A = this chain, B = another copy of it.
Amino acid sequence: MKPGSPQPSDNTIKEVSIDCVMFGFHADELKVLLLKWNEIDWSLPRGRIFKSEPIAEAASRVLKETTGIQDVFLQQFHTFGAADRYQNYTVDQKNRLLDNKSKEGIEHELFHESIISIGFYALVDFGKVTPNLTGSYQWCEISAIPDLLFDHNDMIELALVALRKDLRYLPIAKLLPQKFTLREMQKLYETILNRTFDRRNFHKLLMSYDFLIKLPEKKTGTANKSPHLYQIDLEKYETALQDGISY
Q: Give residues in A with beta carbon < 8 Å to B.
A: 13-16, 49, 51-55, 58, 76, 78-84, 115-116, 118, 165, 169
Question: Which B residue's beta carbon lies closest to that of A58?
Answer: B81
> What chain B residues lie within 8 Å of A58 (beta carbons)?
81
Task: Offer 30 A-B interface pairs, CB within 8 angstroms, sorted by A.
Answer: A13-B15, A13-B115, A13-B116, A14-B15, A15-B15, A15-B16, A16-B16, A49-B81, A49-B116, A51-B83, A51-B84, A51-B115, A52-B83, A52-B84, A53-B81, A53-B83, A54-B81, A54-B82, A54-B83, A55-B79, A55-B80, A55-B81, A55-B82, A55-B116, A58-B81, A76-B78, A76-B79, A79-B118, A116-B116, A116-B118
> What chain B residues lie within 8 Å of A78 (beta carbons)?
76
A54 to B80, CA, bound (A): 8
Question: Which B residue's beta carbon lies closest to that of A169?
Answer: B165
Question: Which B residue's beta carbon lies closest to that of A81?
Answer: B55
A168 → B minimal CB distance (Å): 9
Given A54-B82, A55-B81, 17 more contacts at CB 8 Å?
A: A14-B15, A15-B15, A15-B16, A16-B16, A49-B81, A49-B116, A51-B83, A51-B115, A52-B84, A53-B81, A53-B83, A55-B79, A76-B79, A79-B79, A79-B118, A116-B118, A165-B169
A196 → B minimal CB distance (Å): 19
Question: Which B residue's beta carbon lies closest to that of A84?
Answer: B52
Question: Which B residue's beta carbon lies closest to that of A13?
Answer: B15
A164 → B minimal CB distance (Å): 11
A120 to B15, CA, bound (A): 19
> What chain B residues lie within 8 Å of A55 (beta carbons)?
79-82, 116
> What chain B residues lie within 8 Å of A53 (beta carbons)?
81, 83
A166 → B minimal CB distance (Å): 8
> What chain B residues lie within 8 Å of A115 (beta carbons)?
13, 51
> What chain B residues lie within 8 Å of A54 (beta carbons)?
81-83
